Structure formats: C-alpha cells, structure tokens
Chains A and B, each alone.
Chain A
C-alpha cells in the first residue's frame, strides 16, 4: 500500500513537473478527413520540434460549427488559444475587437520576426484591418480555379478557355459535340459572385469593400454580374452548363465521373483530386473572365480560412501560440501543407521552395492557384468584409438556385439579394452598437 502511494505521488510529481515545463494550447479547426490528418501531422511535428509547448488540435465540424463553437466557448470563458475561422465568418470575428489578439501584435510582442510583405500578395490583406494590420493568420488559403478533363478537351479539339466569350463561342459547342457537359461549378456565391467581382476588379461593397466601416452597402446588383447569370441560364438551355444544386460535392462528382469537362472548384481540391483514381487526366487553368467587362483581368480573392489567436490567454500561452504560428509559416511546413492538400503556400519563401523542389514540374496544375493569386491586383481585389455574410451567402444561394430552376428572373433575384443583404448589413452594424 505504501509503495502504491509512493508511486502515485511520484507519478503526480512527474506530471506536475511536465505541466510546469510545457505550456499546453488548444487549436480548434474544421479540417476533416485527409486534411485533418495533415493538421494532426503538423501539430505532432511541432510538438516534437521543441520541448516548451504542446499543441492539441481538435476537429470541431464544419466551418460554421467551428465558429459557433468558438463563440460559445468564448462567452463561457473556455475559448481555445487558436480558432480557425473561414472567409465568410471573418467579419464577425474581426468586428468583435477584444475577442482576438491581432496576429501581427501577437508575433511582435513575442519577438517573432513578422513582415507582412513576406506573404504573397493575394493572401496578405484579406484578414487584415483597414490599416493593413494582419488580424488573422491565413492558413488554408485557396482560390477558385478551372479544372478540366484533358482528354475531353482533346476530343473536342479545343484548348482551355481563357475568356467566357471563348467558352461560349468555341469551347462549349465543341464539347457538346464531343458528348460532354461542358461546365459545372461548386459554389455560386464564392466563384461566380465574390471572385467575379475581384477577377473583373469591380467594387463589391461600399466603404472599400466593407473594410472601412460598418455602414457598408453591398454593390452586388451590378450589370456585369447580371449579364453573367443571364448567360448562365442561356448556357443551361443550350446544354453548356449544368447546375447540380448548392452542395459542393454534387457538382464535383459529375466531373470526377467524366461527364462534365470543365469544373470550377477550389485550388484546395487539387490534393483530393490527385488522390482519386480518375478515368482521365486533369489539369487546371485560371478562372475565365468576360472580355466585354475588362481586358485587364485581376487576381482573385483567397477563400478557405485563417487562424485567430483568441484573447484572454496568459502570456505563456500566447507565446506558445506565437511559436506555433512561426512554425506554421516556415517555408518547410508551408510547402508540406501545400503539397499534401493543394492549398496555396502563403509566403513567398514557401512558394520559392516549392518551385526549387520541382513540385510544379511534376504537377503543373498545383501552381495555378498561387499564380492566379499573384496576378496584378486592383482597387477591389484585396478582399471584402461584411457582417452576417454567412446569411448573405445563404440568400445568394437561394436566389441563384431559383434563377437556375427558372423560379425567378435574374433581375428579381439580384434585387432580392441586394435588399436582403443590405438589411442584414444594417442589422449587423446594430449588433456592434
């Protein structure tokens, strides 16, 4: 008995020594499946790389669920050190000053070298405040790109379309002739709305796309995008475009099955697609643009998510968070993340490392996302910041669905989106009062 107590006491002492020596931090994320395994790998490697800090990644479900869990935990004083927040939820978190510690401040306070210029240009300012200070650390960054079935395009005797005019006049008719459904896409608000505005350098919202204030109004009801959706309905009738619903996978599956020749998805889909045993070769290109709208197309926004350091943590834990961010942004880790998942490397150094390693010689399609994010920028390409944006996207999805099932006209749909989105924006402004 005595011996048991003794050994229990020794055990406790050892445990408490370990606790004193190592600072433990929690990281809540929304990366399921293979992505989650890569996140766990990064965490394990980080824990093995040093002896001071231990990070524990926890999968919390979808992006929306992770954000909600983080908010609920914050209100209960149980927030994790790091919370992954997706693009559409960024405004909610950034508006709540005091909920997070800006990444830039966190890094500088802990003596980590931080230069926003190290980050590639398309990534740099999306999660920054209006002064350009980085609030959230871009983590899994992607952009919508165009995947295509190489054999389908060869069979049709066409090259990947650069503009929508080319698609409409040349590519699509030839693909239909060759027995394919020419086009599908997986996310109408992200690909055909947000990035439509950035690709054509059109303002998406007042107040500098919403960065400069809360009294923002959305500028979605723009003739160029209305024309785009009118074209989509026309393409649908002519068999050039097929819409399989709001679900991401429902639209990706027909491409994987070889029925659809061109699919617009995320640059982050690359990892998943290359692990599949597809019955054809696929490659990728930039998101097409309308020559009628611009002859100088610009870069796209990043999608995906970023990591926020939650406020209310001890200095020791914040130091651990800063150390993890430093590790995460190191070229080696970024390159590994990029290689495994297809998300873009967020720093120039990591991009250079991937190039030097010959990654893009082996997989040219893997470079498309980052190249597209590095295209010339414009006044309206830095990103957007709008509150209640998750609901605004829901409204878009609803109205776009109605356009594509013939339940409403393009005109009425955009009027409805504009009205409802502006109501949501003004309601969001009131939540900050």
Chain B
C-alpha cells in the first residue's frame, strides 16, 4: 500500500493546530496546574500557601478511608461495567431476532439513553424513598427493610442498579448495530455448521462482536469511573455521610465542598495516572487479541 505524505511539515501542523490548542487549553494547562497544586497546601482564596512536597500524596495513601473508597470504586466499576455489557448484549441478541414490531421494541430499549445521570439518580431517590418508594416496598414484601442513605450496602445497590440501568441502552445500540453488520452469508454458513444456537453465538457471533465489545469496555469503564458522578451525588443527596462514594466524587467533596485544593489536586493526579495506566493496558494487551475485520 502506498502511503500519502505531506510534502512539508507546516501544513499538517497548521491543520492540527486548532485541535491541539483546544487540548492544550482544556487539558494540559489544567492538568499541569493540578499537578502543581498537588504539591502545596493553599488558602482557597489564594492568599497563603505552603509547599508540602509529596505530603498530599502520602496523606492519601496512609488514609484508610481513601483506600476504602478506592476499593469501592474498583468493585463498583467492575460490577457496573460487567452487568451493563452483559445485559445489553443479551437484549441486543434477542432484539436482533425480533421481526414484528422491531422498531418499537428497539426504541423502547434505547429510551433511557436520553436520561441525564442526575435525573437517573433522582429517579433512584424516588424509587428507593425510605417511606414510600416502590422498590423499598417491594423489598419489604420479603421482610427486608431497604434503607438508602442509612445502610451502606443498600445505598451501593441503589447506585449500581441505577448506573447499570442508565448505561444498558448505550451498549444496546452499539451491540445491535454490531450484530447487524455481521454479514448474512457468515451467519448462514454458521447455521449449516453448527446446530446449537449458543454454540453459534460463542464461536461465530461473539468473536465478530469483539471490536465493538472492546470499544464498549473502554467506554463503560470510563462511564463507571467518571460519568456516574451525577448518580452518586443525587443518591447521597450531596451529603456523603457513611454512604459509599467513588474516587471522582471524593475529589469533588474535598475540593469543591471542602475547599482543600492541594488534597483534591493530588487525588485528581492519582485519577489521571489511573486512567493513563488503564488506557495503556487496554490498548497494549487487550487490543492485540482482537481482530478487526
């Protein structure tokens, strides 16, 4: 294959410049500022500050609460990612087979996609209201007193359930279009080779969906780590108390609520490193095993 090259360096640079400028202003500059602030303890109004070196980081890693939150975040992300993908895949495979009323069915499944995370959180708050929430009453039927905001696990359950519910439609849309792009001839050939539906799914359909799945895996991990902020905030009603929270919510609680700029900057830098590491692992290790057609 012949590669097309620019004859001089300046044209591509000029073409990239607007994009680079945006990244510089909205990412590198604030990120650099966060790294700098993480070495200081500073007065929120900007009058005084002390250089503390790695103090803010040491403070994080010997704080057992921070480690607990990190631990919760890992579990939360794993569960939300797994179930959002698994449920969406099942729904997509089933929806792919529906012939009559297919459009209505698909539209209904995609609907939730339009709900913003804080609204999803608010719906959870209503569904799990301690005195009259329908889901609270449902659990009461089994003699279980479900208390969001009181019981750590109940609150975590509400957050996880809402986050999954909110994310399934996105994954559904991608899986469905992925399924529909599998050539008919391949499916028909598979039908002749393998009688069992699940056998066909695992040997033919699933590997062909892998590129979509890999893309969605990244999207979902990022979603669970960061975009669930609105859900967490609404479910805990802005008062973390003894409720579970994710790392990104902790950055907000300490930085924006508590005005501890140095401490929350250090937390942001840790998150940034985490995302870099995650991206590296995903592209270096996982992507090698996936074949794009």
Contacts and interface: CB of A to CB of B under 8 A. Distances in A.
B167 interface: no
B150 A405 contact: yes
Interface in A398-426: 398-402, 404-405, 407, 420, 423-424
A68 B45 contact: no
A295 interface: no
A92 interface: yes
Interface stretch (A16-24, A238-246, A274-282, A341-349): A238-246
Contacts of B149: 244-247, 250
B143 interface: no
A36 interface: no
A50 interface: no
A95 interface: yes
Interface string B251-267: 00110111110110000
Contact of A244 (B150, B236, B243, B256): B150
A401 B47 contact: no
B241 A432 contact: no
B258 A427 contact: no
A398 B240 contact: yes
Interface residues of A, number: 47
A427 B257 contact: no
B242 A246 contact: yes
A323 to B, nearest CB: 26
| Residue with the highest number of chain B CB atoms closer than 10 Å, among A92, A246, A249, A397 | A246
Contacts of B148: 245
A64 interface: yes
B46 A247 contact: no
A427 B41 contact: yes
Contacts of B262: 427, 431
Interface of B: 41-50, 52, 59, 65, 130-131, 147-152, 236-243, 253-254, 256-260, 262-263
12 contacts: A65-B256, A67-B259, A68-B257, A89-B259, A245-B148, A245-B149, A249-B237, A390-B259, A407-B242, A431-B42, A432-B43, A433-B49
Per CB-CB distance, the 10 closest pairs between chain A and chain B, nearest first, are A401-B242, A246-B241, A245-B149, A433-B50, A96-B45, A397-B241, A391-B258, A430-B41, A246-B239, A247-B237
Given A62-B238, A98-B45, A427-B41, 17 more contacts: A71-B259, A74-B45, A92-B44, A99-B47, A245-B149, A245-B150, A246-B236, A246-B241, A253-B130, A391-B257, A394-B257, A401-B150, A407-B242, A427-B262, A431-B42, A431-B44, A433-B49
